[in-house]
Amino acid sequence: MKSCLAFLKQHVLPALVCFGLALALAQMDSFQRFENVTFDARARLRTRYFPTNPRDDVVLVGIDQDSLNQFGRWPWKRTVHGDFVQLAGRLKPSAIAFDLLFDDADENDARFAASITRSQTAVVLASEPAGPEGGIKPGSDALKKLRLEPLPHVVGDRSAIDDDGAMSLPLAPLGEVADLAFATVPRAEDGVLREAPIVLRYGDQVYPSLSLRSLMHHWHVTPDDVQVRLGDAVVIKNDFVNHRIPIDASGKYLINYRHTLEGFNSAGFSESFNFLKAKYVEKKDVPLPEFTGRILLVGQIADGLSDFGATPLASHTPGVLVHANVLENVLNGDFARRAAAWPIWLGGFAITAASLALFAQRKFWQQIAFAIGVPVIFSLVTMLAWKTLSLWVPVVWPTLGFAGAQIFRAVRIINPLAASSLASFLRLI
């Protein structure tokens, strides 16, 4: 009995205390920032050294420097966007989604709207929070004519979904001929874009994000075919498609970043515009961009424009790249997941308690090798889990718990040695 109690006191209790404290620290927001750094590093390493092939049914149409050189300073006349929609519509893309804001009235809105109508193509325009001073509030009469369709089937607590109040929306006539969807991507406390809302709340209703609305057109599904289960998934199902997008209780989705801008199936705005114009207006025999049946995602990628932010891949990333990664994740069924804490805690606790017992009488170099080797191997395992399974396994707090126990073991070894040395010194005196 005494030997059992001694074992618990010397080996189990220290491991329990160290891992308990480490897990408690992991709940702090300031501590989570350290964990986020390790996640971002894994995302960059995988993108750089283990790239995947991009999908060909998502085309990122970038407003790049060549486009600015051709059409002038930003913002452009809306007739430019209208002409692009009308020309690209000849190739029958499944949807043209603009990650651009057309919320202020413009003298060319009527021509832009007419071009959308003539294109006979599904066009999705972005909407974003307006801030406390402006925008359109839920229930406003201005919303009655706009194509802003809520999702009727929502299970769970809607109040958990972010609601930014007033929104900046494209008004009539644009909002009458194009579908409206929310392009909001909130930043984490450290300013990095790691999660994207799949659904958002506007007043009492729940609406699709820009990515989800584009996918609905791509799959030819209606809002009635979409069920939102907060804390579980967005399920898109009819007689022809069956897809599931995991979301948390607030409707957000952990983005599984696979590609930088260079890794996507992309085309410059001006380059595409020029080929389309040469073919359909000037009647020249030129190659056409491969737009048929694809989602065209139009957004800013030129340095100096406003729609940039920090992502795990880089501190200066085009916002349209976030939506492009989400679209590709969903189309591939390639979803990122967070590992549950309890198996990691249980496994780390067991390994640590065993190390305190088994290595107590080992040689010093063996103890050092074990204390260094376990965190190194664990870090490699977490990288492998992210590479192969897109599983986000925490690194910092398990390593901290293990390191705390090893420090305890070292102090326990050093104390008797110090006491013995002191006794020998006193006898010499």
Q: Tell me the pLDDT band of 291, cut-offs 50, 70 and 90.
A: very high
Query: Amino acid identity, residue 179?
Result: D
Q: Is pLDDT of 427 > 70?
A: no
Beta strand 317-318 pairing with 308-309: antiparallel
Whether the CA torsion 41, 324, 227, 159 is positive or negative: it is positive
- Asked if residues 193 and 310 have their Cβ atoms less than 8 Å apart, the reply is yes
The C-alpha atoms of residue 2 and residue 278 are separated, in whole angstroms, by 90
Q: Is pLDDT of 426 > 60?
A: no
Q: Tell me the pLDDT band of 19, cut-offs 50, 70 and 90.
A: confident
The C-alpha atoms of residue 328 and residue 390 are separated, in whole angstroms, by 14
CA distances from 392 to 39, 46, 87, 245, 348 (A): 7, 13, 43, 17, 16
CA distances from 107 to 75, 110, 113, 130, 174 (A): 14, 7, 11, 22, 12
pLDDT of amino acid 423? 45
Tens digits of per-residue pLDDT, 110-164?
A: 999 999 999 999 999 999 888 666 788 888 888 888 999 999 999 999 999 988 7
Mean pLDDT over residues 286-303, rounded?
96
59, containing H or E segment: strand 58-63
Tens digits of per-residue pLDDT, 181-215?
A: 999 888 888 899 999 999 999 999 999 999 999 99
The C-alpha atoms of residue 57 and residue 297 are separated, in whole angstroms, by 11
Q: Is pLDDT of 9 > 70?
A: no
pLDDT of amino acid 63? 97
Average pLDDT for the chain: 89
